């Protein structure tokens, strides 16, 4: 559902849509290429959990980063992650909610190779913003969009219900 709000076209996505997108992506994932699922905090944490269930892969970690501040966008700062020995030599499925410009996924992938010494990184996101994405496309994505996506874990139920017409 698309909602117009202050000149920004927002699309509120339901839990059911999220599960369907993740299921569809997981049908394309080669499980032999996944030792660890790594969710990018915070937007990729919930999807990483669902990827874990669908792929039956219980090794799940997170990497926390900041891709913009009030004053600067584009520079990605890695805040924290798992112990180095846990990822060294592993095949990583890196998960985020949306690939917007691509800066975050590229920087985190580089960090996984350079700092952790991982064997491989495949990236997956629920949405890919076709208006802003400026790098080689990631391995997996669910849907393409140019809208501002509002995920169900980003808003209270009452806000989601009001915007989607449930209440």
Q: Is residue 98 situated within a structural domain?
A: yes
Q: Is residue 8 situated within a structural domain?
A: no
d(CA 4, CA 94): 32
Q: Is residue 10 situated within a structural domain?
A: no
Q: Is residue 6 situated within a structural domain?
A: no
What is the span of the domain harbouring residue 77? 15-164
Q: Is residue 136 situated within a structural domain?
A: yes
**DSSP labels, 15-42:** HHHHHHHHHHHHTT--GGG-SEEEEEET
Could you tell me how far CA 130 lies from the centroid of its own chain?
A: 15
Over residues 3-53, the pLDDT tens digits come to 444 567 888 999 999 999 999 999 999 999 999 999 999 899 999 999 999
Task: Kindly report the pTM of this predicted structure.
Answer: 0.85
Over residues 58-105, the pLDDT tens digits come to 999 999 987 655 555 557 778 889 999 999 999 999 999 998 888 888
At 61, which helix (H) or strand (E)?
strand 60-68
Q: Is residue 34 situated within a structural domain?
A: yes
Q: Which residues have CB under 8 Å from 24's CB, separation 6+?
A: 142
In the chain, the number of structural domains is: 1
Q: How many other C-beta atoms lie within 10 A of the C-beta of residue 146?
A: 10
Q: Which residues have CB under 8 Å from 109's CB, separation 6+?
A: 94, 121, 123
- Domain harbouring 108, CATH code: 3.40.50.2020
Q: Is residue 5 situated within a structural domain?
A: no
Q: Is residue 1 situated within a structural domain?
A: no
Could you tell me how far CA 123 lies from the centroid of its own chain?
A: 8
d(CA 79, CA 66): 7
Over residues 112-163, the pLDDT tens digits come to 999 999 999 999 999 998 887 777 778 999 999 988 899 999 887 777 677 7
∠77-29-137 over CA atoms, to 5°?
Answer: 50
Q: Which residues have CB under 8 Å from 119's CB, separation 6+?
A: 35, 89, 90, 91
């Amino acid at each position: 559902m698309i909602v117009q709000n202050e000149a920004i076209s927002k699309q509120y996505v339901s839990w059911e849509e999220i599960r369907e997108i993740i299921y569809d992506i997981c049908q394309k994932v080669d499980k032999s290429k996944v030792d660890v699922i790594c969710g990018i905090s915070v937007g990729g944490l919930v999807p990483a959990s669902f990827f874990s269930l669908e792929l039956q892969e219980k090794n799940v970690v997170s990497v926390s980063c900041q891709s913009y501040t009030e004053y600067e966008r584009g520079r990605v700062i890695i805040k924290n992650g798992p112990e180095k020995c846990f990822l060294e030599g592993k095949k990583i499925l890196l998960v985020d909610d949306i690939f917007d410009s691509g800066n975050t996924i590229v920087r985190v992938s580089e960090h996984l190779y350079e700092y952790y010494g991982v064997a491989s990184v495949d990236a997956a996101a629920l949405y890919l913003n076709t208006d802003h994405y400026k790098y080689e496309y990631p391995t997996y994505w669910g849907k393409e969009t140019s809208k501002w996506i509002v995920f169900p874990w980003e808003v209270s139920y009452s806000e989601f219900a009001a915007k989607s017409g449930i209440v």
